[in-house]
Amino acid sequence: MYRNKTVSAVIPCYNEEDGIRYVIEKMPSFVDEIVVVDNNSTDRTGEVASSLGARVVLEKRKGYGRAYKTGIPAASSELVVTLDGDGSYPLEEIRPLLDHLIDNDLDFVSGSRFPLKNKGSMRFMNQVGNMALTVAMFIFYFKGIRDSQSGMWAFKSSVYPKFKMTSDGMPLSEELKIEAILAPGVKFDEYHIDYHERIGEVKLNMWEDGLRNLLFFAKKRFFR
Amino acid letter, residue 6:
T
User: Residue 215's pLDDT is what?
Assistant: 78
User: Residue 213's pLDDT is what?
Assistant: 73
- pLDDT tens, per residue, the chain with 224 residues: 999 999 999 999 999 999 999 999 999 999 999 999 999 999 999 999 999 999 999 999 999 999 999 999 999 999 999 999 999 999 999 999 999 999 999 999 999 999 888 877 888 888 887 788 888 788 777 788 999 999 999 999 999 999 999 999 999 999 999 999 999 999 999 999 999 988 866 666 666 776 777 777 677 777 76
C-beta neighbour count of 166 within 10 angstroms: 16
Q: Which helix (H) or strand (E) segment is 56 a member of? A: strand 55-58
- Structural domains of the chain in order of their starting residue, each with its CATH number: 7-223 (3.90.550.10)
Own/partner pairs, 171-175, CB within 8 angstroms, 24+ separation: 171/65, 171/212, 171/213, 171/216, 171/217, 171/220, 172/64, 172/65, 172/68, 172/69, 173/64, 173/148, 173/149, 174/133, 174/137, 174/148, 174/149, 174/213, 174/216, 174/217, 175/65, 175/216, 175/220
User: Residue 222's pLDDT is what?
Assistant: 72
User: Residue 92's pLDDT is what?
Assistant: 97
What is the pTM assigned to this prediction?
A: 0.90
C-beta neighbour count of 87 within 10 angstroms: 21
| Helix/strand/coil for 24 | helix
| Helix/strand/coil for 20 | helix
Bridge pairing between strands 79-82 and 153-156: antiparallel
